[in-house]
Amino acid sequence: MHVRITTPFHPAYVTAERIKKAKNLEFLLTAGIGSDHIDLPAAAAAGLTVAEVTGSNTVSVAGDELLRILILLRNFLPGYQQVVQDEWNVAGIAHRAYDLEGKTVGTVGAGRIGRLLLQRLKPFNCNLLYHDRLQIDPELEKEIGVKFEEDLDAMLPKCDVIVINTPLTEKTRGMFNKERIAKMKKGVIVVNNARGAIMDARAVADACSSGHIAGYGGDVWFPQPAPKDHPWRYMPNHAMTPHISGTTIDAQLRYADGVRDMLDRYFKGEDFPVQNYIVKEG
Ligand SMILES: NC(=O)c1ccc[n+]([C@@H]2O[C@H](COP(=O)([O-])OP(=O)(O)OC[C@H]3O[C@@H](n4cnc5c(N)ncnc54)[C@H](O)[C@@H]3O)[C@@H](O)[C@H]2O)c1
């Protein structure tokens, strides 16, 4: 096999051991965004190319993040459960339901998805903050009305809502451990559609149980599929789903087109769009 196509949604983990066994492998293609299910140093050492369909589901993920923020802030899911269970307890929902207007929302990572989320949030009249390794174009900052926070730990206590939008790297793995979560405001809403392993899973579940995190939502877990005993399945006030935010029918059409285009180029010996490369021939 020369080409292996995988998706981040139900990933085939491409480990160093598997790469070693795949003697003819040249090209690992991710149908979607996020190639952290591949051992990238091992792929580079083997001289492989790793590429993904960059941008193919940005709009889908940013829209889903907005959805999860609203679902958690408005305490929507217990209201839905009441209807299913033939109950009618307005106070039981309303005592912890809030408007998004006027809240401080911070994104950790303001790349393609983070920036689009900020743009989508603008009409809600929130106070918008972002932390990233890089500052975005000042014109765009002004247009969105968002403030750069160079120090992540200084941004966290200001936020009513925190959204994670960084890739999973050696720097971001376990970035939100017990100590970092303790820096967040009590009653914070956290949305993470980036990668499950950016969080310390136990610390998130404990903070949801204590009420420090008032709601946690997202579609990414580690590992995937999430095992039956994953603590996020059982913690209170969560809005978790399988890995679905980036795989709407529209997104599927976009990344299927991207996969076809890259396969065409690969067989013709042509380069891919530069932003699609994660590792190029090692
Ligand atoms: N749930 C899904 O279906 C889904 C779909 C697409 C992408 N994703 C995840 O979302 C991630 C982001 O996607 P994107 O298209 O916005 O990527 P992107 O590369 O456009 O943006 C990532 C941003 O994170 C910043 N960043 C990286 N490391 C950082 C660090 N240590 N501290 C602060 N900022 C850091 C980068 O500077 C960049 O601005 C992907 O890597 C992927 O893991 C999930």
Per residue in 210-221, pLDDT (tens digit) is: 999 999 999 999
Q: Which domain holds residue 227?
A: 57-238
**Residue 37 and residue 89 in one domain:** no
**Residue 37 and residue 97 in one domain:** no
The pTM assigned to this predicted structure is 0.97
Tell me which H or E stretch contains 239. Answer: strand 238-240
- Would 169 be classed as within a structural domain? yes
**Residue 183 and residue 269 in one domain:** no
The Cα 1–Cα 264 span in angstroms is 17
- Calculate Rg over the CA atoms of the chain: 20
**Residue 3 and residue 93 in one domain:** no
- Would 116 be classed as within a structural domain? yes
- Would 282 be classed as within a structural domain? no
**Residue 3 and residue 79 in one domain:** no
Atom of ligand 1 nearest to the CA of 167: 41
**Residue 73 and residue 150 in one domain:** yes
Beta carbons of 176 and 166 less than 8 angstroms apart: no
Atom of ligand 1 nearest to the CA of 136: 39
Question: For position 127, which CATH number holds?
Answer: 3.40.50.720
Atom of ligand 1 nearest to the CA of 244: 3
Tell me which H or E stretch contains 66. Answer: helix 58-73
**Residue 101 and residue 22 in one domain:** no
Could you tell me which of 244, 248, 260, 242 has the C-alpha nearest to residue 53?
260
What is the predicted pLDDT for the residue at 62? 98
What is the predicted pLDDT for the residue at 1? 82
For residues 178-189, average pLDDT:
98
For residues 79-93, average pLDDT:
98
Look at the chain and report how many structural domains it folds into.
Answer: 2
- For ligand 1, mutation pick of 35, 52, 59, 61 (most atoms within 8 Å of CB): 61
The tens digit of pLDDT for each residue in 268-277 reads: 999 999 999 9
**Residue 143 and residue 168 in one domain:** yes
**Residue 35 and residue 168 in one domain:** no
- For ligand 1, mutation pick of 10, 30, 33, 135 (most atoms within 8 Å of CB): 33
Residues in the chain: 282
- Would 264 be classed as within a structural domain? yes
